[in-house]
Homo-oligomer: A and B are copies of this chain.
């Protein structure tokens, strides 16, 4: 989708005005999350791949221009300018999979202002959603200890492309498979799945259904055992395994009831039947809190299916993200709106042993600090080839291992501190004073 209309109307209005007035100065927009949602100690950067694709493909089709001519009613000059518009700018970004905190730019776009402005809506959309979900999924990974996690969210994500994005974001965060076949194909993920209750109901008899399914998929079968009664279901699974002399380790899936208690019963039954290598799989309304409770109870669960609550990031379904003009035509800018001001200028984030430093991009790193933002696009083209997902996964594993206990805590987490560099603090104070003076607004700390 070339995407010229995938935007808010005001972006088109502003772009039209800029183009008409030959305001072609370079603008730097900074995309960041103002505040972490309650209950989050960190975020996981995600969504960059979709952003780069969007920017590379950006254009208006003749159909788009026809619509813009008739309905909002843009003039011929504007439509001609739109027709030749492409994204020709530079992008710096935090690579996918990295841990990030509030106030830190996830992405900075520098481009002629009309181009940078038109990208706002889609860039915010991809980064906000995918970063929120990757963080939720990472919390599930931390809660699960060593147990495996499978993405089961597709049926209740907020739309179809959300399902694809969730499968990918949760894979970055450490999920090992997804039930979503389209996502598995698109992103090269492992697809996982067994049977639903309806399968057993269609057969009527649970054992008959198990035997039929095992005959059809003898390789690696997981029996769903709670359709009528979990204890009876486990017994039927053992019976089917014995009767068919199934080769590989079988599994049982618990999808309702007291999962910890049922897992213990199932484990004992399977062990007693000589199926010590059988795996127990749990699902049903799980999130990081439920997983942590099961792990804390010592429930013998080998893998978790995690669906809806991860897939919509149920307790934090959005982030307070912003895409703010930080500089225009060589001049640092900011707004003063109550509670919404943010520091001016193109930025860099330096990560060090005592926390992160938000600095001006031109500043050198403080000793012992590493930059988080790297160039990902120059003059509208990607820097380097598209990154394999495994690289982002490895990055996330490393950053989660680095994350201090206070920030990774499930409840009342404390994020790693982010301080402003001295130069950025001075610049922010200076721009604030200048703006207040020019606007005739009295000095007050309210806008900070």
Q: Is A160 an interface residue (CB 8 A)?
A: yes
Q: Report chain B residues within 8 Å CB of A162.
A: 158-159, 161-162
Say how far A16's CB is from chain B's closest CB, in angstroms. Answer: 7
Say how far A229's CB is from chain B's closest CB, in angstroms. Answer: 4
Q: Is A312 an interface residue (CB 8 A)?
A: yes
Q: Is A170 an interface residue (CB 8 A)?
A: no
Q: Report chain B residues within 8 Å CB of A191.
A: 9, 71-72
Say how far A109's CB is from chain B's closest CB, in angstroms. Answer: 12
Cα-based distance from A255 to B191 in the complex (angstroms)? 45
Contact status B308-A195, CB under 8 Å: no
Partner of A14, one of B23, B155, B198, B313: B198
Q: Report chain B residues within 8 Å CB of A133.
A: 158
- Nearest residue (CB) in B for A194 is B10
Q: Report chain B residues within 8 Å CB of A217.
A: 13, 17
Say how far A232's CB is from chain B's closest CB, in angstroms. Answer: 6
The interface on chain A, measured as residues whose beta carbon lies within 8 A of the other chain's beta carbons, has a size of 108
Contact status A441-B324, CB under 8 Å: no
Q: A308-331 toward B: CB 8 Å interface, digit per residue (1/0)?
A: 110011100111010111001101
Contact status B193-A125, CB under 8 Å: no
Q: Is A242 an interface residue (CB 8 A)?
A: no
Q: Is A410 an interface residue (CB 8 A)?
A: no
Cα-based distance from A229 to B438 in the complex (angstroms)? 11
Q: Is A346 an interface residue (CB 8 A)?
A: no
Q: Report chain B residues within 8 Å CB of A340.
A: 256
Contact status A336-B438, CB under 8 Å: no
Cα-based distance from A12 to B213 in the complex (angstroms)? 12
Say how far A129's CB is from chain B's closest CB, in angstroms. Answer: 5
Q: Report chain B residues within 8 Å CB of A192.
A: 9
Contact status B201-A328, CB under 8 Å: yes
Partner of A29, one of B152, B198, B436: B198
Cα-based distance from A354 to B124 in the complex (angstroms)? 47
Say how far A56's CB is from chain B's closest CB, in angstroms. Answer: 16
Stretch of A84-92, A115-123, A296-304, A387-395 lying at the B interface: A115-123
Say how far A54's CB is from chain B's closest CB, in angstroms. Answer: 9
Contact status B129-A193, CB under 8 Å: no
Cα-based distance from A193 to B193 in the complex (angstroms)? 45
Q: Is A417 an interface residue (CB 8 A)?
A: no
Partner of A439, one of B126, B206, B308: B206
Contact status A337-B216, CB under 8 Å: no
Question: Which 3 pairs, one residue from A and one from B, show the smallest C-beta to C-beta distance?
Answer: A9-B193, A10-B193, A158-B158
